[in-house]
Each structure stands twice: as structure tokens, then as C-alpha cells.
Amino acid sequence: MNLKSIEIGKLHTKNNVFLAPLAGYTNAVFRELCYNLGAGLTFTEMVSAKGLCYGSEKTEELLHVSEGYAGIKACQIFGSDPEIMRRACESEALKDFELIDINMGCPMPKIYNNGEGSALLNDLPLAEKIISACKKSGKAVSVKFRIGLDESRIVSAEFAKMCEGAGADMICVHGRTRDKIYSGAVNVKEIAAAKNAVKIPVIANGGVFGSSDAEKLIEKTGADGVAVARGAMYNPWIFAKITGEPLPDKRQFVLTQLEKTRKLYGERFACVFMRKMCAFYLKNQKGCAQLRVKLFACPICEELKELINTLSFE
């Protein structure tokens, strides 16, 4: 894959292989470790604009940035009120974030039925107002969206043009429709259509679980880079493999993630979160079902650490 820096407004990324926002997973520690593995840009979990405007403690917890994180600070927000979105961008909570990514692709009913996320694919005038309002904050703005709501309502090229016209500095296109959620083939033609419709950087998203997937996605879409989502949950080392960075000792990586997560988020969160992450990392290994049972039986981080030291992360 041809590695290159992506220019997002006045910002310049380390390379064009990004960690996509993942609700419940891209916390501060995971972002730091993926960046160190080679990811050129990472995003926070999806954050509510209303929560930011009204000082939600739970919302602001999602905005932790590790001391060791050296990349561009990027936050993904969601909402449907342009004024609330602008206020969120200008909030004290986001003062240290250089890039705001607007979620216009989340397919989950809770978000969609509230007129947010992928629901905005059905209301281009409102989506345009939201992007324009966020740009008034003076920050760089990107937009992540899907190619349409279903096969009868494909809007990729039209939506891409709208984003550019409203002032977006970059777009990230997930090559599936909203009704597919995360299943089915990625529609590379529609990502290519979005790429051909604009001059701003276009990042392709969907189906990247290995180096060859990233290369094929770039080749077939002409996109400027790729964003890795679920592939990073199962295999964060994917960033080193794609970018040519040295592969770390995987067990030591997991132990480091455990310790950093415990230090930042506390014992209970770290234990629950890392049991889940280890289960992802061990997926498809021989005996993984039995290993999952052992993982989820660990009540504290020390016991989990002892178990990790006996595991082989292939």
C-alpha cells in the first residue's frame, strides 16, 4: 500500500491508515496503542453533542487523551441540531481537539430513530447545515457517512459533494448501506463515486481485516486512505502490518494495554473491558471457546494478568 500523509485543513496525518471510531472500544489507551503500532490518525468513540453542551460527566469521560498519545487529537460527535453541534465543537471539553468528525453513518436504531447518524443521509439540507455550523468553530471538520440507507436510496456521490460544499475538510465513506449494518460486501463502486465527486481527501471504510484488504480497497476505490474498524478490535497489530512498523510482542502488548487501562479507568472497567478485548484477540484460535470461559471467569485484573501470561496470541 502506498503510504502518505493526508492533509485535513491545516493538519497533516502521519500516514493514511486510520483507526475508525468504535463505540465502546476506541478509548484513550486503545487509541494510543494503535497510534504507536502505526495508525496515522485515531478518533474517540462517538460522543453526544448534547452531552457536551450540558456537561454530561459520562460524555466527557470518553474524551480522555493519554499522556503518551502523540497524534492529532480527533473527536467524533453526533447530533441533529446545527446550533448544538456548533456549541459542542466550541465547548471547553473539546478545546484540545484539533479535528471534529461528524457521525452521519451510525446505523443503530437508537441513533437513527432520533434523527441522528445515518438518518441524516435522508436529509441533505439538514446535514449541510450541521457541517457548516461545525466549521464556524474554526476547527478542521471531517464527516463519516454510509453510501445510503438501502439499495434504493444510494446517495454517496451526492452526499460527498454536499459535504465538500458545506466546508468539510475530509470525508470517510463506509461502503455499506444503513440496512446492512456491518454485514455484506463493501460497495467499492460507490466509494469510488464519492471519491470522483470531490477534491477533498476521501477515506474508504469497510471490510479491512488485513494488509491485502487495505490494498484492494485503495486499488478499487481510488481513495486516499483506509479506516480500520472491527479489524482493529480483533487484530490491532494490523496497523504495524499495513504500515511496515515493527510488530511488538503480542502478549506484552496485551499486558501493557491492561495496565494502562487499569491506571486510567480503574480496576472494574479494566477487568471487564480487557476480558472482552482478549476474547477478540483470541478469536479463531484453537480452543478459543474454552479460553473465553476462563477469561470471563477472572474477577480482578491480577487474575486476568496471570491468565494472559499463559496465553499465546498468534
Of 135, 144, 276, the C-alpha closest to 203 is 144
Q: What is the mean pLDDT of the chain?
A: 95
pLDDT tens string 234-262: 999 999 999 999 999 999 999 999 999 99
pLDDT tens string 120-155: 999 999 999 999 999 999 999 999 999 999 999 999
pLDDT tens string 8-19: 999 999 999 999
Percentage of the chain exceeding pLDDT 70: 100
Of 72, 60, 77, 92, the C-alpha closest to 32 is 72
* 210/213 Cα distance (integer angstroms): 5
Q: Which of 89, 106, 134, 301 is catalytic?
A: 106
As a whole number, mean pLDDT of residues 26-51 equals 97
pTM of the prediction? Answer: 0.95
Give the Å distances, CA to CA, from 231 to 95, 215, 227, 281: 30, 14, 10, 10
Task: Taking the CA atoms of 22, 23, 25 and 31 in sequence, report the sign of the dihedral they define.
Answer: positive
* 153/200 Cα distance (integer angstroms): 24
pLDDT tens string 199-226: 999 999 999 999 999 999 999 999 999 9
CB atoms < 10 A from the CB of 262, how many? 22
Q: Which pLDDT belongs to residue 56?
A: 78
Give the Å distances, CA to CA, from 272 to 204, 268, 276, 277: 32, 6, 7, 9
Q: Which pLDDT belongs to residue 183?
A: 87
DSSP symbol at 54: T
As a whole number, mean pLDDT of residues 51-60 equals 84
3-state secondary structure of 101: strand
Kindly tell me if the per-residue pLDDT of 62 is higher than 80: yes
Give catalytic status of residue 106 as yes or no. yes
Kindly tell me if the per-residue pLDDT of 314 is higher than 80: no
Could you give the count of Cα atoms lying within 13 Å of 200 in the half-sphere of its Cβ? 24
pLDDT tens string 83-113: 999 999 999 999 999 999 999 999 999 999 9
Q: How confident is the model at residue 61 (pLDDT cuts 50, 70, 90)?
A: confident
Could you give the count of Cα atoms lying within 13 Å of 261 in the half-sphere of its Cβ? 26
- 102 close to 47: Cβ distance less than 8 angstroms: no
Q: Which amino acid is located at 155 in the chain?
A: V
- 275 close to 308: Cβ distance less than 8 angstroms: no
